[in-house]
């Protein structure tokens, strides 16, 4: 078992002796129990391979808070044997954002939280240097002439969140 255990995969037949079955055109709920030590926010993806060998990635979402159960529903539109796996990681951006939303308005560790946010945006820019949304956000968050609240507001921009969601800042 790794640092982020993935257990209780579904769909799966008892004892995993036979493949799960579905009909073509069925929307299938894929589930997994995923957890980790500590308070970091997790990200979980379903990797689904079609009978033709084409792999797709679907973001799974937590089902109820505190149950560590993740799910995504996918339409299976081809006949044949599909293969799936689940991967999980610590979502560095979501964890930082959660902590910053608490600490910065309260005036706790403001400089540290902004530095951490700048580092994360720099990581995002390094992954995609041509992305104007991320490069602009990184510059604005580093602008010392802005107040800490104004600098933090950059991280709350839905465009920044969408870009980071597209290519998450992940760690184990």
Half-sphere exposure of 22 (CA within 13 A, CB side): 22
pLDDT surpassing 80 at residue 28: yes
Does a cis peptide bond (omega within 30 degrees of 0) precede residue 103? Answer: no
Whole-number pLDDT of residue 18: 79
Q: Cβ atoms within 10 A of the Cβ of 155, count? A: 24
Same domain membership, residue 131 and residue 68 = no
pTM value? 0.87
pLDDT tens sequence across 34-93? 999 999 999 999 999 999 999 999 999 999 888 999 999 999 999 999 999 999 999 999
Same domain membership, residue 30 and residue 98 = no
Give the CATH number for residue 36. 2.60.40.10
Average pLDDT over residues 22-29: 93
Whole-number pLDDT of residue 172: 80
Closest CA to 69 of 6, 26, 2, 3: 6
For 30, counting Cβ atoms within 10 Å of its Cβ (0-12 exposed, 13-18 middle, 19+ buried), the class is: buried
Whole-number pLDDT of residue 1: 59
pLDDT tens sequence across 91-149? 999 999 999 999 999 999 999 999 999 999 999 999 999 999 999 999 999 999 999 99
Q: How far apart are CA 143 and CA 127, in angstroms?
A: 22
Q: Which residue has the tokens 């129990």?
A: 33
Same domain membership, residue 97 and residue 163 = yes
Same domain membership, residue 114 and residue 41 = no
Q: Which residue has the tokens 């993740």?
A: 70
pLDDT surpassing 90 at residue 13: no
Q: How far apart are CA 34 and CA 70, in angstroms?
A: 7
Inter-residue contact 135 to 125 (CB < 8 Å): yes
Return the structure tokens found at 1.
Answer: 């078992």
Domain total in the chain: 2
Return the structure tokens found at 33.
Answer: 């129990």
């Amino acid at each position: 078992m790794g640092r982020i255990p993935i257990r209780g995969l579904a769909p799966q037949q008892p004892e995993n002796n036979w493949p799960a079955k579905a009909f073509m055109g069925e929307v299938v709920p894929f589930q997994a129990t995923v957890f980790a030590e500590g308070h970091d926010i997790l990200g979980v993806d379903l990797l689904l391979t079609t009978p033709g060998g084409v792999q797709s990635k679907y973001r799974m979402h937590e089902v109820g808070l505190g149950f560590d159960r993740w799910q995504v529903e996918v339409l299976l539109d081809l006949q044949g044997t599909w293969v799936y796996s689940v991967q999980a990681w610590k979502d560095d951006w979501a964890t930082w954002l959660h902590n910053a939303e608490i600490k910065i308005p309260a005036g706790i560790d403001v400089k540290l939280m902004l530095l951490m946010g700048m580092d994360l945006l720099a990581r995002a820019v390094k992954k995609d240097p041509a992305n104007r949304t991320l490069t602009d956000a990184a510059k604005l968050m580093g602008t010392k002439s802005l107040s800490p609240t104004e600098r933090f507001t950059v991280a709350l921009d839905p465009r920044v969140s969408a870009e980071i969601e597209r290519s998450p800042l992940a760690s184990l």
